[in-house]
């Protein structure tokens, strides 16, 4: 397993989700239209990140993608617990939707990246 690559892509996922979350939370109203637009943006961005990871990962791209997602989730849980201590806890009604989007992004992006990587004949050279 390429842990450097996994950590790099987990950090990219974390940064993308954090920026999208801050934009959604501070700039847009909390309603279904905002949640759907944010979910679509997250799906596109995270699918691209997973596609890039798997296009250059010739051995076990889905395992690497899942490991990156789990590392990102761990970091997100730690950060959210820190924010709970500092700020008033706020329940996010669309959390299940966000999890579904991340899993769909992993599946779509990794499949697309794997297909693209095989057709382009990329090497494992990150």
Split into its structural domains, the chain has a count of: 1
Residue 125 maps to a domain: no
When pLDDT is cut at 50, 70 and 90, the band that residue 42 belongs to is: very high
Mean pLDDT of the chain: 87
Residue 89 maps to a domain: yes
pLDDT value at position 54? 94
User: Rounded mean pLDDT of 45-55?
Assistant: 96
Q: Per-residue pLDDT tens for 6-17?
A: 999 999 999 999
Residue 126 maps to a domain: no
Q: State both tokens at 52.
A: 């890039």
Q: Per-residue pLDDT tens for 53-94?
A: 999 888 999 999 999 999 999 999 898 888 888 877 666 666
User: Rounded mean pLDDT of 23-40?
Assistant: 83
Residue 109's domain spans which residues?
3-119
Per-position DSSP letters for 23-59, written without gaps between them: HHHHHS-SSHHHHHHHHHHHHHHHHHHHHHHHHS--S
Residue 124 maps to a domain: no
Residue 76 maps to a domain: yes
Residue 61 maps to a domain: yes
Please state, in angstroms and rounded to a whole number, the distance separating the CA atoms of residues 51 and 105: 9
């Amino acid at each position: 397993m390429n842990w450097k690559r996994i950590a790099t892509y987990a950090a990219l996922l974390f940064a993308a989700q954090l920026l999208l979350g801050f934009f959604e939370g501070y700039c847009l109203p909390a309603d279904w239209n905002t949640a759907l637009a944010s979910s679509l943006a997250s799906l596109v961005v995270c699918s691209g990140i997973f596609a890039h990871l798997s296009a250059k990962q010739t051995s076990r791209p889905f395992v690497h993608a899942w490991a990156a997602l789990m590392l990102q989730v761990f970091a997100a849980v730690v950060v959210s617990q820190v924010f709970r201590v500092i700020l008033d806890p706020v329940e996010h009604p669309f959390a299940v939707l966000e999890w579904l989007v991340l899993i769909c992004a992993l599946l779509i992006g990794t499949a697309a990246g794997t297909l693209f990587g095989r057709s382009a004949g990329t090497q494992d050279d990150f």
